Amino acid sequence: MNYGLVIDTVFKQILAEPSNGHVASYIPELLKVNPDCFGVALTLIDNTSYSIGDAEIKFSIQSIAKVFSLALGYKTLGDKIWERVGVEPSGTAFNSLLQLEADHGKPRNPFINSGALVICDILLSQIKDVKSELLAFIRHISDNQSIDYSPNIALSEKLNGFRNIALCNFIKSFHNIHNHPEDVLDLYFNLCSIEMTCSELSKSFLFLANDGKKTTDQSTILTSSQTKRINAVMQTCGFYDESGEFTFKVGLPGKSGVGGGILAIHPKLYSIVTWSPRLNEKGNSEKGMKFLELFTTQTKYSIF
């Protein structure tokens, strides 16, 4: 398969199409990003890589980082993690409070905001210096010591994160947040503030395409079973209430972020990341969704 040719062809086709999307406005710091940036990076499990466009520009990965926190939480606590967060699609917006009332404070899955907050709470209870350890974990799996939190983005989220503050306190009222909400929110805002490039992200998530092992040294990040389950949750829940659409059109497990990034995994083959800040009405990158649909169509590879 000539992946380089396919990426180049599809990229140019998507780039030529008009975009009706809008940059996320509820996090003011994200508005400073050039809305017309567009990058793609693909890394195969033999570590061959391809990139095009703005693939080397750092951007706020936002909710894509929830896969990192889930992986560390799962590695640390094991299957007990599912006692406090579910694995079902939400069918509602990523920051919705509606289902928490009916579900007695147990979020439907770890990728909606409420679920990610519970994962952060679990990490706080299990790890002493959690922000440092989480960052060390991400740097380890990515083989990149330059990855860091963005103080400006974290502060921007904190100053405007009223919905997340409400979610955290609401879950606390059901006793599914064990630590102080301010500590949980601080970890969550910093987690979402991490900045990486498309190329860095595609390399970082190769372990999910390689049975839980790093491709550079074959060290184990997660067990095969844990890897399978994280990929399964990404397949069904990685794009909020557009997850079914992504599965239908793209056919890969993945995770999006309101910074405009999309991660997708093809087990045994590759990790691919797109970045374009203009979002569709569901909060997912408009160009990224279109690119990945055409990419899997052209390559004729999906998990189905």
Which two structure tokens, joined as six digits, stand for 7? 């990426």
**pLDDT value of position 144:** 95
Helices 181-193 + 130-142 axis angle, to 10? 20
> Backbone phi, then psi, for 38, in 5-degree steps?
-155, 120
User: Residues 224-279: pLDDT tens digits?
Assistant: 999 999 999 999 999 988 999 999 999 999 999 999 999 999 999 999 999 999 99
pLDDT score of 294 more than 90: yes
Report the 10 Å Cβ neighbour count for 104.
10
Across-strand partners of 255?
Answer: 263
Is residue 148 within a helix (H) or strand (E), and if so which, with residue range? none
Ordered by where they begin, the domains of the chain are 3-299 (3.40.710.10)
H-assigned helices in the chain: 3-16, 65-77, 98-102, 113-126, 130-142, 151-160, 162-173, 181-193, 198-204, 224-237, 243-249, 286-299
pLDDT score of 29 more than 90: no
pLDDT score of 9 more than 90: yes
What is the pLDDT of the chain when averaged over all its residues? 94
Looking at per-residue pLDDT, the higher value among 8 and 283 belongs to 8
Q: Are 40 and 207 in contact (CB under 8 A)?
A: no
Closest CA to 43 of 55, 61, 58: 55
Given pLDDT bands bounded at 50, 70 and 90, which one contains residue 1? confident
**pLDDT value of position 18:** 87
Report the 10 Å Cβ neighbour count for 222.
20
pLDDT score of 94 more than 80: no
User: Residues 155-211: pLDDT tens digits?
Assistant: 999 998 999 999 999 999 999 999 999 999 999 999 999 999 999 999 999 999 999
Longest dimension (CA), the chain: 54
**pLDDT value of position 47:** 96
Report the 10 Å Cβ neighbour count for 162.
9
pLDDT score of 20 more than 80: yes
User: Residues 122-151: pLDDT tens digits?
Assistant: 999 999 999 999 999 999 999 999 999 999
Given pLDDT bands bounded at 50, 70 and 90, which one contains residue 300? confident
Averaged pLDDT, 43-49: 96
